[in-house]
Structure 1
Amino acid sequence: MHSELQEAYGFLFEKELLEEINKFGSLRTAKAGEKIIEIGDFVKGMPLLLKGAIKILREDSDGDELLLYFIERGDTCAMTLSCCLGETRSEIRAVAETDTSFIMVPISKMEEWTAKYKSWRNFVFESYHSRLSEMLEAIDTIAFLNMDERLMKYLRDKAKINRDENIYSTHQQIAYDMHTSRVVISRLLKKLELEKKISLQRNHIKVIDL
């Protein structure tokens, strides 16, 4: 675990903090599509991503999901941190976008490191800032972009997160993430294909206009 930790976070944290994370953190893995945190769970630790990507979702009163943002290697989820420190139930769902490995940091150490290590404090504050910016961007996208523009942004973001221009999500999965219907997504994908921004293949979508 230490070499992966060094590679992902060595440029952020001092040697002593890396050694403590390696000692007290627990290594976890999740397959693509696996739920890591469920809405309503008591969160007992904060994930530090070593490999892969996780998508963070909210759910409305009807059970429909809305994608808030992705987190990648070297990131953490500030909303998870908030739940940990406040000892409240999770208001988000975290799902592995790809096969993922991460270190779960226990609550007690998070508080201790905030007082002990400047690099940890900076990391936490920067994580809050980054996630807040991404949530504001998600709000702006919903409020100000047409649905086809929202869909194209979603496809570009997904391709960049996966580092692959080919997206293997079904039309229904995309509809869930975007809080709309499969029929709408299928119609808009056809429109984007006619505009030569994407190519619809038998089992995937190729993003041309990255």
Structure 2
Amino acid sequence: MIQELKEGYGNQFEQELINEIVQVGTFKEVPEGFKLMEVGQYVKGMPLLVSGAIKVLRDDNNGDELLLYYLEKGDTCSMTLTCCMGDAKSEIRAIAETDAKLIMVPIQKMEEWTAKYKSWRNFVFESYHNRLNELLHTLDSIAFDRMDMRLIGYLKEKARINKEDTIHNTHQEIAYELHSSRVVISRLLKKLEQMGKIELHRNYIKILDL
């Protein structure tokens, strides 16, 4: 665990803090598609991501999903932090976008470390700042961008996160994450294919020139 911590957080945390995390943290390896957090669950620990990627989604009143942001190596989830501090139920769903490794930190340590370690305080505040910016970007995209531009941005980010030019998602799954309909997404994907931007296959989408 200590090697993963140093690689992911060694430039942010003091050695003493890393040692404490090793003592109390729980190391987890999860496969792609694994559900780490469900809406309505109480949050028992805070995740520190050391490899892979996790997507964070939110449900609307109709039960439809909206992709909020991705967590990558060196990140944590500010919404998890909020739930931990307030002993509240989760308002998000977190699913492993790729195979991932993470360290779960007990919530009891969060307040103690905030007072004890400057690097931890900075990390928490920076996490809030980064996630807020990502949420504002998502909000701006929904409010101001056309769906075709949102779809292109989604495909680009998906490819970057997965480090490949092949997207293994159905049209329905993409529609859920963009809070749209399968018919609309299928039509826009077909249009992108006709423009030579992507190739549509039975079980995947290949990015050519986005």
TM-score normalized by the length of structure 2: 0.97
Counterpart in 1 of 2:191? 191
Equivalent position SS for 1:28: strand
Deviations 1:141-178 (A, max 9, x none): 00111111110000011111111111111111111111
Paired letter, 2:14: E
Residues paired across the two proteins, number: 210
Deviates more, 1:130-139 or 1:191-200: 191-200
Counterpart in 2 of 1:153? 153
CA distance in 1, matches of 2:68, 2:180: 14
Map 1:49-68 → 2, pairs under 5 A: 49-68=49-68
Equivalent position SS for 1:126: helix
Counterpart in 2 of 1:129? 129
Per-residue deviation, 1:201: 2.8
Counterpart in 2 of 1:174? 174
Per-residue deviation, 1:134: 0.3
CA distance in 1, matches of 2:113, 2:209: 43
CA distance in 2, matches of 1:24, 1:181: 44
Equivalent position SS for 1:101: strand
Equivalent position SS for 2:57: strand
Map 1:63-74 → 2, pairs under 5 A: 63-74=63-74
Q: Which runs of 5+ in 1 are unaligned?
A: none
Per-residue deviation, 1:182: 1.3
CA distance in 2, matches of 1:10, 1:149: 37
CA distance in 2, matches of 1:31, 1:17: 28
Counterpart in 1 of 2:86? 86
CA distance in 1, matches of 2:192, 2:148: 8
Per-residue deviation, 1:196: 2.1
Paired letter, 1:78: S
TM-score normalized by the length of structure 1: 0.97
Please report the RMSD computed on the Cα atoms of aligned residues, expressed in angstroms.
1.0
| Identity %, equivalent residues | 63
Are 2:39 and 1:39 aligned? yes
Paired letter, 1:206: K
Counterpart in 1 of 2:2? 2
